[in-house]
Amino acid sequence: MKGFLDEVAADLYARYGAGISELTILFPSQRARVFFLDALSRVAERPLWRPEWMTIDELTAEASGLRAGDDVRMVTELYKIYSEYHPEPFDRFYFWGETLLRDFDTVDKYLIDADRLFRNISDLKELEAAADCVALRVPEARRGSGSQCSSFLAMDDSEREAFERDFRQRRNLRASEDARRESLHSGPQDMILKRQDGEVTSRVTPSLVADVLKRCLEGRESGFELTPTRPVEGGGRSFRSLNCFVRAEHPGEPQVLLVLEEASPGGEEHLGLALTAPPRRAEEILEGWLRREAPDLKDWDLRRVYAAPQSSQDQGAKQSHAKLSLVYASGAAENHTTFTKEDVQLAAEGIADGTYQIVDLIHASGYLWIRVTAGDQTDGRCTVEATKPEGPELGFYMAKMPPREAAAWLTGYPLGQFLPGGRDWKRVKKSK
C-alpha cells in the first residue's frame, strides 16, 4: 500500500515530468519534505534537480516579515514569568516548559479559544481526582463534599455511567500493561502460599512473600509454606515445598528457619533439609524459590520431617470446586482454584477500574456462582449473572448495574450479604 507522499510524488511527476524541478512545493514540516524527496527518487526515470520547497512556518515568516523565536530563549522568557508565581528550579521547569510552548503554539495555529480550553483542562483534572472515588478501598473520609470529587458525587446516573466508561477506557491499556509486567516479573502462577492459619492463595508474587515474611519477623504471623505445582530440582534432589518459620529466641536480630521438604512417594515421614539464616539471606532464598531455583545446599542440615495428619477440613477443601477466573481487558486470562477474600477484593477493584473485562467466581459453599462482565462503549453498565438457592435447585438471574455496584456484589455475594432477586433482576433459563 502506497503512502500519501508516495502518491503525491507519483502524481506530480506524471503531470510535470522533468519540469517538477521548476516548482516550489509547500510542506507542513521539515520532516515531510525529506520523505517526499525519497519518494520522488523512486518514481523519477532520470536524474533531476530537486524542486524548491518551504514549510508553512517559513512561508508565514516570509509573508509577515516576522522571525520565529529561538526555543531556548522562549523557554527562558516563559520561566521568568512563571517563577514570579511558582518557585521552581529552572532545570526542572525546562523540560515541561518546552511542552507548554508547543501547546501555546497549537492553540495559536488552530485559533482555539484559550479560555475555554484551559477551563476544560481544569475540569478534567478535577474528574481525574474524582476517579479515585471509584476505587473500592478509598476511605469514606476522602469522599466528603469538601473534596475535589464533589462534582463527581453531584452527577446523575447517566453522567456517572458516561464518566466511568471513559475512565475505564483510559485505564484499560495501562492496567493491562501493568498486569503483563507483573506477570513477567513474578513468573508463572504455579506457586501456592499457605499460612499457618490455613489461609491459601495462588496469586503469589515477590511483593506478597516479602510482606508475609515481614509480618513473621514482626511477630504477627508464625510462618508459611510455599508449594510449587511440581517439584523443584536441585543438588541431585527433588523438593516439594519450602517452609519458613521465625526463631526469636536468640538475642538481637531474629533468625529465619527454612525447611526444604523432599518429594517422597508417600507416608507420614520423609526427609528434609533445614537452614537457620538471617532475614536478608532468607529473602534471597525465597526469591530464588519463586523462580523455581533450589538454593545452594552446602550449609543445610538433613532432618526428618513428619507430615501432620490431614484434617477433615483439609479433605473437604480438596473436594472443593471453588474457582476464580479473570479475563483482562487485553484478552489475557488467569484461573485460580485457591484464593482468598483479598483476591476477590482485588478482582472487584479490577472491574471498577477497567483492569478486568470478566470476573467469574464459583464459591465452594453451595456451588454458588457469580459472573461480572464489564460494559462497552455503547453501554457502560456491567452485566452481573448469579445463582440463588431455590430449594434443591439453583435459580439463575441477570441484572445490569454500574461498575461500582457490580464490584460491591462481587465482594459481598461470597459472604452471603447479597442474593439476586427483586425488580432489577431478571430470572433466566440456563442452558444445560
Question: In the chain, where are the structural domains located?
Answer: 4-64, 71-112, 191-309, 315-428
Q: Which residues of 310-327 are buried (b: 16+ CB within 10 A; e: fewer)?
A: eeeeeeeeeeeebbbbbb
Residue 89, C-alpha cell as written in the block? 528550579
pLDDT averaged over consecutive 10-residue blocks of the chain (432 residues)? Answer: 85 90 88 86 86 86 84 89 87 84 84 83 67 46 45 67 64 54 52 78 80 86 86 84 77 80 60 85 91 88 59 42 79 74 82 86 73 86 86 81 86 73 78 50
User: Which amino acid, 321?
Assistant: H
Amino acid 315: pLDDT: 42
SS3 content of the chain, % helix, strand, coil (to 5): 45, 25, 30
In 6-141, at which residue ranges do the beta strands (DSSP E only) sit?
24-27, 52-55
Helix, strand or coil, per DSSP, at residue 430: coil
Amino acid 230: pLDDT: 81
Question: Distance from first CA to last CA of the chain, Å, rounded?
Answer: 49
Nearest to 66 by CA among 57, 78, 53, 74: 57
Exposed, middle or buried: residue 277 (CB in 10 Å: 0-12, 13-18, 19+)?
Answer: middle
Amino acid 264: pLDDT: 62
How many CA atoms within 13 Å lie on the side-chain side of 221? Answer: 20
User: Which amino acid, 232?
Assistant: V
229 contacts 191 by C-beta, under 8 angstroms = yes
Give the span between the Cα atoms of 47 and 73, in whole angstroms: 42
Give the span between the Cα atoms of 312 and 317, in whole angstroms: 9
pTM: 0.37
Exposed, middle or buried: residue 57 (CB in 10 Å: 0-12, 13-18, 19+)?
Answer: middle
Nearest to 108 by CA among 83, 54, 100, 71: 100
**Residue 194 phi, psi dihedral angles, 5° rounding:** -125, 125
Q: Which residue shows C-alpha cell 482454584?
A: 337
Neighbours of 356 (CB within 10 A): 27
**CA–CA distances in Å: residue 129 to residues 77, 121, 149, 213:** 32, 12, 6, 34
Element containing residue 393 per DSSP (H, E): strand 393-401
275 contacts 299 by C-beta, under 8 angstroms = yes
